[in-house]
Amino acid sequence: VALLLLLALCNAIKIHGEESNGLCDVNLTLRSRPHSVSILEFGAVGDGKTLNTIAFQNAIFYLKSFADKGGAQLYVPPGRWLTGSFNLTSHLTLFLEKGAVILGSQDPSHWDIVEPLPSYGPGTELPGKRYRSLVNGYMLRDVVITGDNGTIDGQGSVWWEWFTSHSLNYSCPHLVEFVSSESILVSNITFLNAPAYNMHPVYCSHVHIHHITVYAPPGSPYTVGIVPDSSDNVCIEDCSISMGHDAIALKSGWDEYGIAYGRPTANVHIRRVQLQSFSGSSLAFGSQMSGGISDVQVQQLHLYDSLTGIEFRTTKGRGGYIKEIAISDVDMLNIKTAFGANGHFGSHPDDKFDPDALPLVAKITIQNIIGTNISMAGNFTGIEESPFTSICLSNVSLSINSASSSHWQCSYVSGFSESVFPEPCSELNNPDASSSCFSLLKPNGRAAVL
């Protein structure tokens, strides 16, 4: 009976309508999966000690046969389900009941080894192969990960120790990664202690992430909450994310490899999220952005206890662009630097990058911001050969806790500001730049040229 009830509740996503007030307003209708099984039926034991990788693999292999029959659900009941990495299939719902915890094994031999992503060349942290993520999807369609606030716990403490001691043989794994997939829904789940990223859609389309909680402790190195990477039509809403490094980071490939792959991150809508980052940025763009990042709408953020609130990162050799970004209605609390734009951020994958591949950073609007206990208002450091342009600030009020008179630092940047306190640097007070600024006033919620 419980399974039948859950079957009625489980869902797959169907998108209706092409016009909306933003990607997050697209109407998602819920439909039940006609087939459902419990992980218990495949011999899984939820004692936190028994390895259940084969049980997950066998269950999903069985459910794959229902892909052309309306799809299926894998139900995970309360318990602590230890596992290594496993792959999902199309037209599948992974449902975690309240009290269900999928635990990532702390034995690296239980994590598959795979090739680096093509847009990152030799790899990220280490050259060569990488550990596969705990939960994976490759070239899938119509996949749902949801539940009654069940948990996916990466038990990342051992990975963080190996990372800081430089004893890893391969780059750290993520918790959930979808590659070259579409129509993905992740909701009502808690992510804990990821070895690196928690949610990583890469080369994906139509990804909806909402009502998730993500946490890693302050000292966890390079942990990031959600990373839309060379993906389009992404909605992130009603989430709470607290990370050791970045909370949300938009990316699109690394130097010559990202330029060659040529897939941007575009059409992203982020709203009603709470973000905290101990050593990074609450909301970051880049620095790996060689495929380009554009058409991003951000609304109703609460940023707190972070090194940087909102930051745009790039460097010579990246190529690509960060443009047409509209951010509004943000409150900040206890932030060291409210806004940053850094043209000298990050390293290179190898010595093959083209130093003349200059990134473009332009047409960025930040408006309706209130900040309390801010140490520095903004640090905008552009690139001499490719200055950052059309950086537009409007209706910004920051309460600065520092006695320093240098609340803003600017170089190789130009833009326009109106009703901004404290008074920004002269480079951001160019009336001629106002015609290129973007606004969120258009009825459909998209940025529009004034």
Q: Which residue has the higher pLDDT, 23 or 55?
A: 55
- The whole-chain average pLDDT of the chain stands at 91
pLDDT of res. 447 = 44
The answer to whether the beta carbons of residues 326 and 440 sit under 8 Å apart is yes
For 133, phi and psi rounded to 5 degrees? -65, 165
The answer to whether the beta carbons of residues 308 and 335 sit under 8 Å apart is yes
**Cis peptide bond prior to 118, omega within 30° of 0:** no
pLDDT of res. 2 = 35
Structure tokens at 313: 């990162």
pTM for this predicted structure: 0.93
- Burial (CB < 10 A; 0-12, 13-18, 19+), residue 139, is exposed
User: What DSSP string describes 223-243?
Assistant: -EEE--BS-EEEEEES-EEEE
d(CA 79, CA 97): 9
d(CA 190, CA 38): 20
Structure tokens at 137: 């999807």
User: What DSSP string describes 327-362?
Assistant: EEEEEEEEEEEEEEEESS-S--SSTTS-TT---EEE
Q: How many helices (H) and strands (E) does the chain have?
A: 4, 32
CB atoms within 10 A of CB 82: 25
pLDDT-based confidence at residue 446 (cuts at 50, 70, 90): very low
pLDDT of res. 235 = 97
- 80-137 pLDDT, tens digit per residue, is 999 999 999 999 999 999 999 999 999 999 999 999 999 999 988 888 999 999 999 9
| All domains in the chain, ordered by first residue | 77-436 (2.160.20.10)
pLDDT-based confidence at residue 231 (cuts at 50, 70, 90): very high
Structure tokens at 231: 């993906």
CB burial readout 302-334, b (16+ within 10 A) else e: ebbbbbbbbbbbbbbbbbbbbbbbbbbbbebbe
pLDDT of res. 97 = 98
pLDDT of res. 392 = 95
- 167-202 pLDDT, tens digit per residue, is 999 999 999 999 999 999 999 999 999 999 999 999
